[in-house]
Amino acid sequence: MKKQKVSSAVIRRLPRYYRHLTDLYLAGVVRISSSALGKSMNLTASQIRQDLSCFGEFGQQGYGYNVESLRDEIAEILGMNQKHTAVILGVGNLGRALMENFHFDRSGFTLTAAFDVDPNLIGKSVSDVQVHPVEELERYLRETSVSVGVLTVPRAAAAPMSERLVAGGVKGIWNFTNAELDMGRSGVVVENVHFADSLLALSYMISEAP
| Strands across the sheet containing 129-133 | 125-126, 129-133, 109-116, 84-89, 148-151, 172-175, 189-192
CA 47 distance to own-chain centroid: 23
Helix (H, G, I), strand (E, B) or coil at 64: strand
Q: H or E element: which one contains 204?
A: helix 195-208
Backbone angles phi, psi at 79, to 5 degrees: 80, 20
pLDDT tens-digit series, residues 35-88: 999 999 999 999 999 999 888 888 666 678 999 999 999 999 999 999 999 999
Domains of the chain, CATH where assigned: 8-77 (1.10.10.10), 84-196 (3.40.50.720)
User: How far apart (Å, rounded) are the C-alpha atoms in residues 48 and 52?
Assistant: 6
With beta carbons less than 8 A apart as the criterion, state whether 170 and 147 touch.
Answer: yes
Q: What is the pLDDT of residue 209?
A: 74
Read out DSSP for 142-178? HHS--SEEEE-S-GGGHHHHHHHHHHTT-SEEEE-SS
For the chain, list residues with pLDDT below 50: 1-3
Nearest to 63 by CA among 89, 86, 31, 37: 31
Q: What is the pLDDT of residue 4?
A: 56
Is the pTM value of this prediction over 0.75? yes
